[in-house]
């Protein structure tokens, strides 16, 4: 954002320099002109400075407002439960949730150490995420490239997509026991559909001009897939990965609630059985934090891979 | 067949509209371009100019008739043909260097050589220093230069250009036209150049084909006898021969443009 700003002001400055050169050639009222230009240059620097100050001030304001909202929500929650306006037996209390988390990390849980629970759930979610993404991309691209296959399979995909897939978890538990496999499968199924539809659409949305250009330049079928279709579909696929990891976690946790020996979902289920909202909320926030961390990583990867894409307009306008 | 670079013989192209109606884009089109000649096709919008080009490139097949390039009937993508599109057709996820080298990479030229030749072409179109930029970081005129380098790098015998400078402002267009002329006079491929700009057509071409609209057909062919090298495009158009030709061709073209306009405005 700063670079945009600097760039435009540089452009204007070099324009002024040219103007000053031609002024030199003109002779005449040279001095007066030079003075005007010099003062113009100064005000230009000033304006650049002002813009960057305004930008920083704005950013500070946004963060301030965010902090205020967080304080109001958490503080209000604490206050309402402390005053007894809201029953903390059902809705817990931020301080109690914090203590519970502390307790989890210090003393472990009834199913083993807390990091182990996190590790179990993350493992299930990540495996599911990778399998679902891989199969989703391959199937999506394959069907996107093959009209006939896409038309044949269309009704089946619609039916499977209409099934509430969480229910598949029960079947996976019955079939594969309460180990790692059923959770990975459930997470993979949830992720698959999101990635699949996006990959499919991405292949279909390839720009005709770009495609024709590559063909005329002598691209083989494989060249077209590798240099045109895959990069184009990648935009869609990467966008889908943001929500995909959230679904992978949902799959893993629901799988654990349905039947497990370890994991955050199991802790939630056990807390529910003990009328312990503190345990439920504590695990909920941990899961949210995990999803945010992974999404941050995915966004980083996306930004690297998508370096060729123009920056979002609003980012530039802010300056 | 010998002696022509591009020959279009009695070509008709029909499309099926989504409603199931048959739409005839061009009917019984016949004309030829000799090797090393620059041929411009002008006509009102919707006269099937772009359709003609996609038939020559092999992106599309004629419903009737045949298209011959370099003595061979077109069947699939034509080999040795370069194409400059009206719209942006660069690969947005590839840098300038990668875009320019693409034609060579597809032809299995060794990567090192491809990069070297691409750098040379980037320099020739005046974009040295921009090798690692992505298309969206360039202006419209610069993107056209990249497209030009990408089309010329494979040293095509036949060059197809579909209103390549149509989206550019007048000044940039003039500069690009001059650069195109310089490149063309260097290696002299046969060019089929489509435009709706009659001045551009006369300034650049050896021959101007005027097409009628809906369905597209050849109305008349004019030979442009302004001697080469013609110098800057901006100045040619004040020459007396240019004005004569312009007057003559415009008289033919005007009816078509007016008819096409009446049809779209009347509906």
Is B4 in the same domain as B100? no
Residues 29 through 68 of chain B touching chain A, CB cutoff 8 Å:
54, 57, 59
pLDDT of residue A24: 42
Strands (E) located in B61-154: 64-69, 72-73, 81-84
Residue A8 predicted with pLDDT over 70: no
Q: Where in chain A are the domains? A: 2-79, 90-310
What does the pLDDT read at residue A50?
85
Closest-CA distance, A50 to chain B, in angstroms, reads: 27
Restricting to B residues 128-157, those with a Cβ less than 8 Å away from any Cβ of A are: 134-137, 150, 154
Q: Does residue B194 lie within any of the structural domains? A: yes
Q: Which residues of B touch A222 (CB under 8 A)?
A: none
**CA dihedral of residues A257, A259, A260, A263 (deg, nearest 10):** -10
Q: Which of A218, A231, A307, A316 to mutate to test the interface with B (most CBs of B within 10 A)?
A: A218
The residues, ordered by sequence, that sit 6+ positions from B215 with a Cβ below 8 Å of its Cβ are B12, B24, B25, B26, B27, B48
Mark whether B199 and B223 lie in a shared domain. Answer: yes
Q: Which two tokens stand for residue A252?
A: 């893993």
Same domain, B180 and B139: no
Rounded distance between C-alpha atoms, residue A91 and residue A104, angstroms: 19
Beta bridge partners of B16: B22
Question: Token pair of B164, please?
Answer: 């390549």
Based on the domain organization, do B149 and B101 belong to the same domain?
yes
pLDDT in tens, A206-240: 998 999 999 999 899 999 999 999 999 998 999 89
| CATH top-level class of A90-310 | mainly alpha
Q: Which of B131, B155, B179 is a domain's end point? A: B155
Q: Structural domain of residue B131, as residue ranges?
A: 90-155
In a domain, B120, yes or no: yes
% of chain A exceeding 70 in pLDDT: 83
The DSSP output letter for A223 is H
- Kindly state whether residues B142 and B215 are assigned to the same domain: no
Answer whether residue B242 is part of any domain.
Answer: no
The residue out of B111, B128, B155 marking a domain boundary is: B155
Confidence of residue A34 (pLDDT cuts 50, 70, 90): low
Instruction: From first to last of the 267 residues of chain B, give the pLDDT tens digit.
Output: 446 889 999 999 998 888 888 888 898 999 999 999 999 999 887 778 888 999 999 999 999 999 999 888 888 888 888 999 888 889 999 999 999 999 999 999 999 999 999 999 999 888 999 999 999 999 988 999 999 999 999 989 999 999 988 888 888 888 889 989 988 988 899 999 999 889 999 999 999 999 987 788 888 999 998 888 888 888 888 888 999 999 999 998 888 888 888 877 765
Whether the pLDDT of residue A316 is over 50: the answer is no
**For chain B, how many structural domains are there in total?**
2
Q: What is the mean pLDDT of chain A?
A: 85
pLDDT-derived band at A21, boundaries 50, 70, 90:
very low
Residues in chain B: 267
Residues B70 and B111 in one domain: no
B121 plus B190 within the same structural domain: no
* B82 Cβ under 8 Å from any chain A Cβ: yes
Residue B119 shares a structural domain with residue B107 = yes
Per residue in B16-73, pLDDT tens? 888 888 888 898 999 999 999 999 999 887 778 888 999 999 999 999 999 999 888 8
Residue A65: predicted pLDDT: 96
Q: Is the peptide bond before B229 cis (omega within 30 degrees of 0)?
A: yes
DSSP H stretches of helix in chain A: 2-26, 30-83, 88-91, 94-107, 114-145, 147-162, 168-176, 180-204, 208-216, 221-223, 230-258, 264-273, 277-305, 313-317
Q: What is the CA radius of gyration of chain A?
A: 29
Picking from A233, A308, A310, A311 by the largest number of B CB atoms within 10 A of its own CB, the best residue to mutate is A308
Confidence of residue A32 (pLDDT cuts 50, 70, 90): low
In a domain, B236, yes or no: no
Instruction: End-to-end CA distance of chain A: give it in Å, rounded.
Output: 7
Q: Which of A216, A231, A232 sits opposite B83 (nearest CB)?
A: A216
Q: Which residue has tokens 């062919």?
A: B221
* pLDDT of amino acid B131: 93
- Are B56 and B170 found together in one domain? yes
State the nearest Cα–Cα gap between A236 and chain B, in angstroms.
14
Residue numbers in A near B103 (CB within 8 A):
217-218
Check if the beta carbon of residue B147 is closer than 8 Å to that of residue B68.
Answer: no
CA distance B6 to B1: 9
The CATH code of the domain that includes B180 is 3.40.50.300
Comparing C-alpha atoms, which of B144, B153, B235, B142 is closest to residue B189?
B153
Phi, psi of A283 (to 5 degrees): -70, -35
Sheet holding B22-33, edge to edge: B22-33, B6-16, B64-69, B72-73
- Among residues A153, A135, A155, A134, which one has the least CA distance to residue A143? A153
Is residue A192 predicted with pLDDT exceeding 60? Answer: yes
Same domain, residue pair B61 and B14: yes
- DSSP code at position B127: -
pLDDT, position A318? 42
pLDDT of residue B215: 82
Residue A185 tokens, joined:
């499968």
Report the gap between the CA of B23 and the closest CA in chain A (Å).
21
Residue A42: per-residue pLDDT:
62
Assign A64 a pLDDT band (cuts: 50, 70, 90): very high
Q: Is B69 on the interface with A (CB under 8 A)?
A: no
Q: Do A216 and B81 touch (CB under 8 A)?
A: yes
Q: What is the ipTM of this complex?
A: 0.86
Q: If 0-12 CB within 10 Å is exposed, 13-18 middle and 19+ buried, where does residue A4 land?
A: middle
């Amino acid at each position: 954002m700063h670079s945009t700003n600097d760039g435009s002001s540089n452009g204007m400055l070099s324009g002024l320099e040219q103007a000053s050169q031609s002024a030199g050639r003109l002779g005449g009222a040279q001095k007066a002109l030079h003075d005007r230009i010099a003062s113009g240059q100064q005000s230009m620097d000033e304006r650049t400075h002002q813009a960057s100050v305004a930008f920083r001030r704005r950013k500070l304001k946004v963060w301030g407002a965010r902090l205020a909202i967080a304080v109001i929500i958490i503080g209000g929650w604490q206050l309402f439960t402390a005053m007894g306006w809201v029953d903390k037996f059902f809705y817990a209390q931020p301080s109690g949730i914090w203590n519970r988390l502390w307790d989890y990390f210090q003393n472990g849980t009834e199913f083993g150490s807390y990091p182990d629970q996190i590790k179990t759930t993350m493992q299930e979610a990540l495996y599911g995420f990778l399998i679902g993404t891989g199969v989703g991309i391959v199937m999506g691209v394959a069907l996107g490239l093959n009209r006939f296959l896409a038309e044949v399979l269309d009704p089946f995909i619609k039916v499977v997509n209409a099934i509430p897939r969480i229910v598949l978890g029960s079947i996976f538990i019955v079939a594969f026991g309460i180990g790692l496999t059923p959770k990975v499968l459930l997470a993979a199924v949830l992720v698959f559909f999101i990635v699949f539809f996006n990959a499919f659409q991405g292949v279909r949305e390839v720009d005709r001009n770009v495609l024709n250009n590559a063909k005329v330049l002598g691209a083989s079928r494989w060249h077209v897939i590798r240099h045109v279709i895959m990069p184009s579909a990648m935009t869609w696929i990467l966008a889908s990965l943001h929500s995909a990891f959230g679904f992978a976690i949902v799959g893993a946790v629901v799988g654990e609630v349905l039947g497990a020996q370890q994991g955050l979902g199991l802790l939630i289920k056990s807390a529910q059985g003990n009328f312990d909202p503190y345990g439920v909320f504590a695990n909920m926030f941990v899961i949210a934090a995990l999803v945010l961390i992974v999404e941050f990583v995915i966004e980083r990867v996306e930004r690297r891979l998508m370096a060729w894409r123009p920056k979002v307009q609003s980012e530039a306008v802010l300056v | 067949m010998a002696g022509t670079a591009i020959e279009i013989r009695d070509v008709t192209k029909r499309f099926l509209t989504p409603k199931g109606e048959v739409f005839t884009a061009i009917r019984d089109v016949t004309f030829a371009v000799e090797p090393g000649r620059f041929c411009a096709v002008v006509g009102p919008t919707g006269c099937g100019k772009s359709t003609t080009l996609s038939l020559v490139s092999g992106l599309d097949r004629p419903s009737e008739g045949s298209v011959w390039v370099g003595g061979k009937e077109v069947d699939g993508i034509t080999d040795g043909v370069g194409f400059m599109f009206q719209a942006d057709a660069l690969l947005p996820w590839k840098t300038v260097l990668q875009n320019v080298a693409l034609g060579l990479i597809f032809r299995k030229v060794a990567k090192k050589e491809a990069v070297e030749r691409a750098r040379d072409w980037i320099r020739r179109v005046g974009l040295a220093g921009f090798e690692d930029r992505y298309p969206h970081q360039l202006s419209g005129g610069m993107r056209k230069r990249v497209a030009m380098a990408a089309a010329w790098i494979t040293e095509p015998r036949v060059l197809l250009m579909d209103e390549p400078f149509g989206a550019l402002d007048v000044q940039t267009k003039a500069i690009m036209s001059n650069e195109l002329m310089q490149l063309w006079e260097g290696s002299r491929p046969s060019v089929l150049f489509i435009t709706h700009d009659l001045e551009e057509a006369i300034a650049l071409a050896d021959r101007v084909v005027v097409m009628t609209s809906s369905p597209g057909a050849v109305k008349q062919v004019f030979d442009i006898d302004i001697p080469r090298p013609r110098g800057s495009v901006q100045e040619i158009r004040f020459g007396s021969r240019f004005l004569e030709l312009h007057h003559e061709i415009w008289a033919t073209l005007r009816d078509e443009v007016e008819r096409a306009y009446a049809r779209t405005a009347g509906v």
